[in-house]
A and B are shown apart, each in its own frame.
Chain A
Amino acid sequence: MGCVESVPKALQRWLRALGWAGLFPVVMCLFLVCWGARPWTWAVVLAAAAVTLLAPAVAADLLPVALIGFGGYAVVLLRRSVTFPPGSGTTTGYPFHSVVFGNGLPHVVDLSAGLLMLVVGAWLVPRTIGVHSRLARRNSELLSRVRRLTITRVDALDTATAELRRIERDLHDGAQARLVALGISLRATERLIKTNPDAAVALVAESRENSARALAELRALVRGINPPVLAERGLGDAIRALALDCPVPAAAEVDLPRRLPPPVEAAAYFAVAEALANAVKHAGARSVHIRAAHAAGVLRIEVTDDGAGGADPSRGTGLRGIERRLGTFDGVLAVSSPPGGPTIIVIEVPCAS
């Protein structure tokens, strides 16, 4: 049953998808009407059907042309058929009604059919042009989108590679080196423990110191990769924690009821951290205000400081890096920082919560 019912539904769906283009082969059937069933008229009709099936967009473009052509033909031939009365020979080239209904019907049928086709054809022309200009616009939009995606993808890869290199170097020079030192002093302790217990105890103390330093370095490293408070509490509390740790008084107004995608949270977190660091280090701000909210599918964060101003994202690598990181999510960074301040940094990232 379902199968039987689904056939007209599928047909309906197909016709809806085809739209105006579906009329094209129907109109082209007028070739058969006007010039009779001959090989070339059949070829024209079949070609029209093939074009409609394979390239509906082309058929939709050709439809107004066909309508205006046949409409004009009918209106013009109406006059000719008065000059050459029907029944004088072949029906070829004669108005539609003479073929369909015989010659007795009034010419008003041709006139109205022709006019109707002209009107519909003329009505379709601006729409067809409109469709094309929309397509052209969409096309250029897509092209610039592709260009932007290409740039941000390269940026994202560069950033990720640089990050990995930094992490590798930090691990290699930091924790890894300390663990090697730890192994060596433990080995030495093993040798000294019986012969020189005092030296062994000193070495053990040194080892403990080394392991504590390795831990501290790992902690700092983890904070730079994925801040623990961000993983545990999300962006809202992570921003509050940043504000608390800021060396100058920082107020945080956060309205983020739900967790956001983790990569967006991380990018936004580091953006705020950079903005705060700049405010303290470069602008000499005495207070900072952070506002963060997620509304209508956009995360918006504003960091305002009362410092000296004059921040230029094209000069500093920090803001530029943040801009690139946000770019991966189609996020933007705007900086307003007139000399004398205040500096306002706004980031916006489209994202669903």
Chain B
Amino acid sequence: MRVVIAEDLFLLREGMASLLKEHGFDVAEAVGDGPSLLRALTIQRPDVAIVDVRLPPAYTDEGLRAALEARRQVPGLPVLILSAHVERLYARELLADRMGGVGYLLKDRVFTDEQFTDALRTVAHGGTVMDPEVVAKLLARRSSLPPVTRLTDRERQVLALMAEGRSNAAIAQRLVITEKAVSKHCTSIFAKLDLPPSDDDNRRVLAVLAYLDS
């Protein structure tokens, strides 16, 4: 799996590159600023890109903007955004094109390599991974807007784990229920959120988007 890394801190960039190599990823290019990221993404067309939100030259949100621009040029280009903080605002912008293949994680998650590489693979395969902190913020909010109010508590738990990018098997394990029960909950969630029948990955992206917009 070919990866492009955009991170301005040399230590973190090299650390991530060696961690990924250990796990069998192929680091196609590692860049340190916004313009070279956009160039690398459009030329290399990696299977997945790991992008720090804040990059030189201006240290604002160059990384995020370069990633969004690259996805405009290469629709659905899988991007995992890393940041020292998470904002629902950015999560929404990332999901706005409804193409999936998007991840948004705190930099801290890199420490736990299994979680990190799992997330990377999920994103590369078109899935959606939101940081537990984004999801926690959603849970803290008393969702009073339909259609999320139509969900039962259990369905909301499933949706939250879905937003974190977990597979049905992982959700089943976490909630200590059978995988069959999870897929039943999923069907019910998709129906309540008025999501038209399509492939499961796409519906999961749309469900997470509806959740973020609630």
A interface list, Cβ under 8 A from B: 208, 211-212, 215-216, 219, 222-223, 228-229, 231-233, 237, 240-241, 244-249, 286
Check B45 for interface membership: any CB of A closer than 8 A. no
Q: A212-B111, A244-B92 are in contact. Are A229 and B87 (CB under 8 A)?
A: yes
| Inter-subunit contact B84/A232 (CB<8 Å) | no
| Inter-subunit contact B84/A247 (CB<8 Å) | no
With both beta carbons as reference points, the residue of chain A lying nearest to B62 in the complex is identified as A232
Chain B residues near A219: list those with CB within 8 A.
84-85
Check B140 for interface membership: any CB of A closer than 8 A. yes
Contact of A249 among B61, B85, B137, B145 (CB under 8 A): B145
Chain A residues near B137: list those with CB within 8 A.
245
Report how far A231 CA is from B53 CA in the complex, Å.
12
Contact of B140 among A216, A247, A249 (CB under 8 A): A247
Chain A: minimal CB distance from B7 (Å): 16
Chain A residues near B108: list those with CB within 8 A.
212, 215-216
Contact of A246 among B54, B92, B141, B145 (CB under 8 A): B141
Contact of B53 among A216, A232, A249 (CB under 8 A): A232
| Inter-subunit contact A244/B88 (CB<8 Å) | yes
Chain A residues near B92: list those with CB within 8 A.
244
Report how far A219 CA is from B145 CA in the complex, Å.
29
Chain B: minimal CB distance from A332 (Å): 28
Check B176 for interface membership: any CB of A closer than 8 A. no
Total contacting residues, chain B, CB less than 8 A: 23
Check B198 for interface membership: any CB of A closer than 8 A. no
Check B188 for interface membership: any CB of A closer than 8 A. no
B interface list, Cβ under 8 A from A: 53-54, 60-61, 83-85, 87-90, 92, 106-108, 111-112, 137, 140-142, 144-145
The 6 closest A-B pairs by CB, nearest first: A232-B61, A241-B89, A244-B88, A232-B60, A228-B85, A247-B141
| Inter-subunit contact B85/A223 (CB<8 Å) | yes
| Inter-subunit contact A237/B85 (CB<8 Å) | no
Chain B: minimal CB distance from A214 (Å): 10
Q: Can you pick out 23 interface pairs between chain A and chain B where the beta carbons lie within 8 Å of each other? A: A208-B112, A211-B111, A212-B111, A215-B106, A215-B108, A216-B108, A219-B85, A222-B84, A228-B83, A229-B87, A229-B89, A229-B90, A232-B60, A232-B61, A233-B60, A237-B89, A240-B89, A244-B87, A245-B88, A245-B141, A247-B140, A247-B141, A286-B144
| Inter-subunit contact B60/A231 (CB<8 Å) | yes
- Which one of B87, B92, B141, B145 has the greatest number of beta carbons of chain A within 10 Å? B87
Chain A: minimal CB distance from B135 (Å): 13
With both beta carbons as reference points, the residue of chain B lying nearest to A243 in the complex is identified as B89
Chain A: minimal CB distance from B66 (Å): 13
Report how far A236 CA is from B92 CA in the complex, Å.
16
Report how far A176 CA is from B84 CA in the complex, Å.
18
Report how far A233 CA is from B90 CA in the complex, Å.
10
Chain B residues near A237: list those with CB within 8 A.
89
Report how far A241 CA is from B61 CA in the complex, Å.
14
With both beta carbons as reference points, the residue of chain B lying nearest to A238 in the complex is identified as B89
| Inter-subunit contact B144/A232 (CB<8 Å) | no
With both beta carbons as reference points, the residue of chain A lying nearest to B112 in the complex is identified as A208
Chain B residues near A215: list those with CB within 8 A.
106-108
| Inter-subunit contact B54/A232 (CB<8 Å) | yes
Chain A residues near B140: list those with CB within 8 A.
247
Chain B: minimal CB distance from A306 (Å): 12
Contact of B87 among A216, A241, A286 (CB under 8 A): A241
Chain A: minimal CB distance from B168 (Å): 27
Chain B: minimal CB distance from A302 (Å): 21
Contact of A241 among B54, B83, B88, B111 (CB under 8 A): B88
Chain B: minimal CB distance from A26 (Å): 63
Chain B residues near A244: list those with CB within 8 A.
87-89, 92
Contact of A208 among B85, B88, B90, B111 (CB under 8 A): B111
Report how far A241 CA is from B87 CA in the complex, Å.
7
With both beta carbons as reference points, the residue of chain A lying nearest to B145 in the complex is identified as A249
With both beta carbons as reference points, the residue of chain B lying nearest to A246 in the complex is identified as B141
Chain B residues near A223: list those with CB within 8 A.
85
Name 8 extra pairs, CB < 8 A, besides A223-B85, A248-B144. A215-B108, A216-B108, A219-B85, A222-B85, A229-B90, A232-B53, A233-B60, A241-B87
Report how far A208 CA is from B108 CA in the complex, Å.
10
Q: A233-B60, A249-B145 are in contact. Are A228 and B84 (CB under 8 A)?
A: yes
Report how far A245 CA is from B86 CA in the complex, Å.
11
Chain A residues near B112: list those with CB within 8 A.
208
| Inter-subunit contact A247/B142 (CB<8 Å) | yes
With both beta carbons as reference points, the residue of chain A lying nearest to B212 in the complex is identified as A244
Chain A: minimal CB distance from B142 (Å): 6
Report how far A228 CA is from B52 CA in the complex, Å.
13
Chain B: minimal CB distance from A267 (Å): 20
Chain B: minimal CB distance from A235 (Å): 13
Chain B: minimal CB distance from A252 (Å): 10
Report how far A148 CA is from B85 CA in the complex, Å.
39
Chain B: minimal CB distance from A343 (Å): 19
Report how far A342 CA is from B71 CA in the complex, Å.
44
With both beta carbons as reference points, the residue of chain B lying nearest to A240 in the complex is identified as B89
Chain B: minimal CB distance from A100 (Å): 76
Chain B residues near A245: list those with CB within 8 A.
88, 137, 141
